[in-house]
Amino acid sequence: MALNLTVNKLSFKYDGTQVLKDVDMEVKLGEMLSIVGPNGSGKSTLLKCINRILKTQQNTVLIDGEDTSKLNLKALSRIMGYVPQSSTNTFPFTVFDIVLMGRKPYIHWSLSERDTEIVAEMLDYIGIGDLALRHFNELSGGEQQKVIIARALAQQPQFLLLDEPTSSLDIKHQLEILCILKSLAKTKHCSVIVAMHDLNLASRFSDRMLMLKKGCIFTVGTPDTVLTEENIESVYGIKTQVTNSILGSPQVTPLISEFNGIKPLKTPSKIETIDSRA
Ligand code: ADP
């Protein structure tokens, strides 16, 4: 059972453009760590580098001290599960079949009874057992997201990486998904690393938050140390008020746009039409 994931001086360039620079981080078993930062700050790229979808230098991502670049894809998939940003991908399969795909790293020649048992367990755990025989394409966005998470869990990963898993969901589905992730971490089934836009949800559910600015770690720590008005202004360039919620986690309220130097759009001047020119 792997306990620690360490990232050492991770840097990454797309076609010569530096996107991540010297990122150091550590994730311990049972922890829920959220990665926050403005659009383009490198959250998705960081997750893809950790998961080795994008290749980085040797010895940048270690699990219990072992270099993951030395692991083959199958071995890595048994340790790390990855849920990409929700896309418009469609799968002409049933929910059961899709979750079964998560067993691929374990299947040698044929399916075992244990593989199908694990799929059923994951569907129940996520609370979508009743959808098992439905077609993925006929499900709502929230249901589809749960299926993709169940597929990643069927890999039985020790580190689960998710890229904005709640961004297109309503508030109830957002809470359901984040409660599932929190409970996975709390029961030490796996550690959860999640890129998130919503600072308030991240604050409420994360043990620690890592805030990126232009590809570098700006700060990392518990939500109350990361989510300060000063840090948010430095990283996002807006003024906010941070207060403690009744649940104890800091909550961020952006101040109105005039205070943030965002000028309202000018009313467009009257559009000249052929008629008005005549
Ligand atoms: P975030 O997830 O924080 O929005 P990303 O990791 O998606 O940030 O992107 C970080 C930077 O890398 C951005 O400037 C983005 O335009 C660039 N980028 C992302 N993907 C690619 C790609 N496939 N090719 C070139 N540049 C990319």
Six-digit token string for 130:
């009743």
pTM metric for this prediction: 0.90
Residue to substitute in 15, 45, 48, 212 for testing ligand 1 pocket (most ligand atoms within 8 angstroms of CB): 45
pLDDT tens, residue by residue, 127-162: 999 999 999 999 988 899 899 999 999 999 999 999
Q: Is 45 in the pocket of ligand 1 (CB under 6 A)?
A: yes
Q: Does pLDDT of 94 surpass 60?
A: yes
Ligand 1 and 14: CB distance under 6 A: yes
pLDDT above 90 (res 276) = no
The pLDDT value given to residue 268: 63
**Per-chain mean pLDDT for the chain:** 89
Mean pLDDT of 244-261: 81
- Domain covering 5-226, topology: Rossmann fold (3.40.50)
**Residue labelled with tokens 């760590």:** 33
Task: Report the candidate in 175, 155, 179, 203 with the shortest Cα–Cα distance to residue 34.
Answer: 203
Question: Whose CA is closest to atom 14 on ligand 1?
Answer: 40
Tell me how far the alpha carbon of residue 276 lies from the centroid of ligand 1, in angstroms: 46
Mutate to test the pocket of ligand 1, among 11, 12, 13, 14 (most ligand atoms within 8 A of CB): 14
Whether pLDDT at 2 is above 70 = no
Q: Is the pLDDT of residue 6 over 90?
A: yes
Q: Is the model's pLDDT at 87 over the cut of 70?
A: no
Residue identified by tokens 């040698």 is 108
Q: Is the pLDDT of residue 55 over 60?
A: yes
Q: Which helix (H) or strand (E) holds 22?
A: strand 17-28
State whether residue 12 is helix, strand or coil. strand
